[in-house]
Structure 1
Amino acid sequence: MYRAILPEGQILCDRYEQGEKGFELYDETDQLVAFVPYDNLHALVDEDVYSADDRSIM
């Protein structure tokens, strides 16, 4: 599972595809959850890494 960190909040997804203008985020049933343009994305983090340490990644 992945966590997309945006200025407005966060989006969880199971997989993503990197495109020319941004990331397409998909859930476990391969349905599109969101399209995030590169300019709006602060980070795309593997959920295992994000929750493994208590320190802030921002």
Structure 2
Amino acid sequence: MYRAILPEGQVLCERYQHIDDGLELYDADDNFLAFVPYSNLHALLDEEVYEENDRSVM
């Protein structure tokens, strides 16, 4: 599972696809969830990385 970090919040998705202007996000049933322009995308994280508490990035 992936987490798209946006200025307005976050979107969880099972998979994503790169296209010319951004990312298309899809759920586990392969339903389209959202289009995120690259200009609005702060980060795309693997959910396992997001949940790790072993170390701080600060």
Q: Normalising by structure 2, report the TM-score.
A: 0.91
Aligned to 2:5: 5
Query: By how many angstroms is 1:53 displaced?
Result: 2.3
Tell me which residue corresponds to 1:41: 41
Task: Look up the match of 2:32.
Answer: 32
- Percent of pairs with identical residues: 61
Moved more, 1-10 or 45-54: 45-54
Equivalent position of 2:19 in the other structure = 19
Aligned residues: 57
SS class of match (2:29): coil
Partners of 1:56 and 1:41 in 2: how far apart?
A: 19
CA distance in 2, matches of 1:50, 1:56: 11
CA offsets, 1:9-57, max 9 Å, x none?
A: 0000000000100000000000000000000000000000000126368
TM-score by length of 1: 0.91
Q: Bigger radius of gyration, 1 or 2?
A: 2
Where structure 1 has 5 or more consecutive residues not aligned to the other structure, the ranges are: none
Aligned residue type for 1:53: N
Q: Which segments of structure 1 move beyond 3 Å, counting only runs of 4 or more?
A: 54-57
